[in-house]
Amino acid sequence: MKKVDVENLKKIVGSENATDNPVDLYAYSGDASVHQAMPNVVVRPKTIEQVQKIMRYANKNRIPVIPRGAGTGTSGHAVPIDGGIVMDMKQMNHILEIKPGDVLVRVEPGVVDDDLNRALLPYGFFYPPAPASSRIATIGGEIAANASGVRSVKYGATRDYILGLKVVLADGSLVNLGANTRVHSSGYQLERLIVGSEGTLGIVVEATIRIYPLPKFRCLGVANFNKLEDAGNAISEIITSGCQPSMLELMDGIGIVAVNKALDLGLKEVGAIILFEADGNVKEAVDFEINKMKEICKAHNGFGIELSYDAEERKRIFSGRKKLFAALSRYKEGIICTDLADDMGVPNSKIAEAAAKIHEIAKRNNVIMAVYGHCGSGVIHTKIMLDPKKKDQWKDADKVIEELYDYIHSVGGVTSAEHGIGLSKAPPWKKARADIIPMMRAIKKALDPNNILNPHKLMDAPDDWVKATDLRYRVVK
Ligand SMILES: Cc1cc2nc3c(=O)[nH]c(=O)nc-3n(C[C@H](O)[C@H](O)[C@H](O)COP(=O)(O)OP(=O)(O)OC[C@H]3O[C@@H](n4cnc5c(N)ncnc54)[C@H](O)[C@@H]3O)c2cc1C
């Protein structure tokens, strides 16, 4: 790869916003995944024009550019495996316009999800797809990953909220995709093509997104289950019963032990917990929904059920689930929680079966795996917990991943329901979706003929990432 001219980049963004200092480069060498690779330069543009100039320079010199939000991607999306320029978008963090009358906002890509929701609160609106990482994840990163979250079971994923996007393409040109209206049928839905493109097709520099009026009432319930399968079956039945949960989350016994250790929550250490929520503007309607879900939980041996309308109490009940990801590394001394095979999607009827299967595969292969997630939307989160220093554990993890994805695909599930493909999930996804890869490559070639935008990710990621990429852990034995 050609040398990156940091002085030229400093002229574009200012000397304080371009760096090749090794300490800075190290800070940008990883994300929330297991992968690591050093960039040559990090730039932090503040304007669309700066993004355009950087892209023109990179395209002319065939230098990889990796757009980056908060770096919370779990599969190596923002890891610069070919080096090049990491473009940190967090300085483009302005909410440009809030238009409640048109139920939309216009934002720069570096706006943090929770900041947007805080700004919408006085208007009585919210932006629903918030992922569990909403405290730091950026709107640009959420668009590029098609993020979804706890409320997606009722309100949908990021793709359902994108009306229009301003995107800088690989050659530095700026395009306006989509519209300001809530629907459009005026040609290819190109704004949707960018959603989930993981930084491989263009740099999102502005987004026009839908917002939603805040419901007047929210009621959260929690139910305990001795058996994980019972909890899974309760979730499937809630979905088919006609109830409209605004949240329907599962947490297994491993997750419960981990959050108790990390947060001292004193949760009952049972086989599984379900969190279920109803919202709306008529209290009687919310009561009806929440009680119906409660009865379904009871019918599946749910017990110790608590319900609360109180905002503080709801926050307390939900805190374990919200902080579960981080808490999992506390499950057992010496192990860490890796983002491997972390967000499968399964059909609604397969939730209980898939949850049990994950535990069974993990046990047989000597690794620990927690099962949790937005199961009401069919999202099953897992984490492979292992001792990262031991080579054998990575091999065991590899076997688990292969077996797990073979199972998930055999029941009609998807490799990633939420976090995206990046590097870690590319091998099983490519195996399962060989049919669409030529079409994706053709689109990539048309928009980025020099392959500079986040190269070697998704369909072009290595087939064996364990061999082909660096891990951010020191494997010693
Ligand atoms: C604790 C934790 C909890 C999580 N919970 C959830 C969850 O509930 N739901 C969920 O969906 N995900 C979740 N995630 C994953 C992650 O937070 C999301 O994928 C999020 O959308 C990433 O946002 P980011 O700003 O960190 O993007 P990054 O990780 O920085 O980047 C993600 C991808 O977006 C691209 N990108 C970033 N900005 C732009 C831009 N402006 N233009 C073009 N491409 C861009 C990058 O190149 C990369 O491919 C979680 C992660 C963690 C660590």
DSSP structure string for 49-78: HHHHHHHHHHHHTT--EEEESSS--SSSTT
- Is the torsion defined by CA of 125, 130, 132, 133 positive or negative? negative
Q: What is the pLDDT of residue 1?
A: 59
Q: Count of alpha carbons within 13 Å of 200, Cβ hemisphere only?
A: 27
Q: 401 in ligand 1 pocket by Cβ < 6 Å? A: no
Q: 109 in ligand 1 pocket by Cβ < 6 Å? A: yes
Distance (angstroms) between ligand 1 centre and the Cα of 142 equals: 5
CA 270 to CA 182: how far, in whole Å? 45
Choosing from 68, 86, 111 the residue with most ligand 1 atoms within 8 A of its CB, the one to mutate for a pocket test is 68
- Tell me the three state secondary structure of residue 425: coil
Q: 198 in ligand 1 pocket by Cβ < 6 Å? A: yes
Q: 168 in ligand 1 pocket by Cβ < 6 Å? A: no
And the tokens for 286? Answer: 């919310």
Q: Whose CA is nearest to atom 15 of ligand 1?
A: 73
Sequence ranges of the domains in the chain: 1-214, 217-322, 329-471
And the tokens for 28? Answer: 């940008």
Residue 249, φ and ψ in degrees, nearest 5: -115, 145
Task: Tell me the per-residue pLDDT of 341-393, one tens digit each, with 9 for 90 and over.
Answer: 899 999 999 999 999 999 999 999 888 999 999 999 999 999 898 888 888 88
Atom of ligand 1 nearest to the CA of 139: 25
What residue has token string 């009401």?
376
Task: Tell me the per-residue pLDDT of 300-309, one tens digit each, with 9 for 90 and over.
Answer: 999 999 999 9
Q: 177 in ligand 1 pocket by Cβ < 6 Å? A: no
- Tell me the three state secondary structure of residue 122: helix
Q: 110 in ligand 1 pocket by Cβ < 6 Å? A: no
Q: Residues 214, 126: contact at Cβ < 8 Å?
A: yes
Nearest-10 Cα torsion for 93, 99, 105, 108:
-30
- Tell me the three state secondary structure of residue 99: strand
Closest by CA to 67, choosing from 209, 200, 176, is 200
Atom of ligand 1 nearest to the CA of 204: 42
Q: What is the pLDDT of residue 429?
A: 96
Q: What is the mean pLDDT of residues 253-272?
A: 91
- The second-level CATH assignment, the architecture, of 217-322 is 2-Layer Sandwich (3.30)
Distance (angstroms) between ligand 1 centre and the Cα of 420 equals: 9
Asked if the model's pLDDT at residue 128 lies above 60, the reply is yes
CA 81 to CA 447: how far, in whole Å? 21
Q: 89 in ligand 1 pocket by Cβ < 6 Å? A: yes
Q: 35 in ligand 1 pocket by Cβ < 6 Å? A: no
Distance (angstroms) between ligand 1 centre and the Cα of 243 equals: 30
CA 307 to CA 294: how far, in whole Å? 9
And the tokens for 314? Answer: 């709801």
Q: What is the pLDDT of residue 2?
A: 62
Q: 322 in ligand 1 pocket by Cβ < 6 Å? A: no
Choosing from 86, 89, 133 the residue with most ligand 1 atoms within 8 A of its CB, the one to mutate for a pocket test is 133
Q: What is the pLDDT of residue 428?
A: 94
Task: Determine the topology of domain 329-471 in CATH.
Answer: Alpha-Beta Plaits (3.30.70)
Q: What is the pLDDT of residue 468?
A: 67
Q: What is the mean pLDDT of the chain?
A: 94
Q: 280 in ligand 1 pocket by Cβ < 6 Å? A: no
CA 419 to CA 154: how far, in whole Å? 19
DSSP secondary structure letter of residue 301: T
322 band by pLDDT with thresholds 50, 70 and 90: confident
Find how far residue 88's CA is from the centre of its chain: 18
Q: 131 in ligand 1 pocket by Cβ < 6 Å? A: yes
Atom of ligand 1 nearest to the CA of 199: 44
CA 422 to CA 456: how far, in whole Å? 9
Q: What is the mean pLDDT of residues 25-42?
A: 95
Q: What is the pLDDT of residue 334?
A: 86
Q: What is the pTM of this model?
A: 0.96
Distance (angstroms) between ligand 1 centre and the Cα of 13 equals: 24
Rg (CA), the chain: 22
Burial state string for 83-93 with b = 16 or more CB within 10 A and e = fewer than 16: bbbbbbbbbbb
CA 431 to CA 171: how far, in whole Å? 31
Q: Whose CA is nearest to atom 20 of ligand 1?
A: 142
Q: Whose CA is nearest to atom 49 of ligand 1?
A: 198
Q: What is the mean pLDDT of residues 93-101?
A: 98
Q: 72 in ligand 1 pocket by Cβ < 6 Å? A: yes
Q: What is the pLDDT of residue 4?
A: 94
Asked if the model's pLDDT at residue 477 lies above 60, the reply is no
CA of 65: how far to CAs of 57, 167, 172, 185, 446, in Å?
A: 10, 14, 12, 32, 17
E-strand stretches of 62-146:
65-68, 85-88, 95-99, 104-107, 125-126
Asked if the model's pLDDT at residue 7 lies above 60, the reply is yes
Closest by CA to 372, choosing from 219, 241, 245, 259, is 259
Fold matches, 217-322 and 329-471: yes
Q: Whose CA is nearest to atom 32 of ligand 1?
A: 141
Task: Tell me the per-residue pLDDT of 203-246, one tens digit each, with 9 for 90 and over.
Answer: 999 999 999 999 999 999 999 999 999 999 999 999 999 999 99
Q: What is the mean pLDDT of residues 457-463?
A: 94
Q: What is the mean pLDDT of residues 141-169?
A: 97
CA 51 to CA 116: how far, in whole Å? 23
Q: 222 in ligand 1 pocket by Cβ < 6 Å? A: no
And the tokens for 14? Answer: 């200012």
Q: What is the pLDDT of residue 398?
A: 87
Q: What percent of the chain has pLDDT over 70?
A: 99
Asked if the model's pLDDT at residue 294 lies above 60, the reply is yes
Task: Tell me the per-residue pLDDT of 169-184, one tens digit each, with 9 for 90 and over.
Answer: 999 999 999 999 989 9
The widest CA-to-CA distance across the chain, in whole angstroms, is 67
Asked if the model's pLDDT at residue 336 lies above 90, the reply is no
Distance (angstroms) between ligand 1 centre and the Cα of 237 equals: 31
Q: Residues 164, 208: contact at Cβ < 8 Å?
A: yes
Task: Tell me the per-residue pLDDT of 104-122, one tens digit each, with 9 for 90 and over.
Answer: 999 999 999 999 999 999 9
CA 255 to CA 271: how far, in whole Å? 10
Burial-class residue 390 by CB neighbours within 10 Å (0-12, 13-18, 19+). middle
Task: Determine the topology of domain 1-214 in CATH.
Answer: 3.30.465
Q: 137 in ligand 1 pocket by Cβ < 6 Å? A: yes
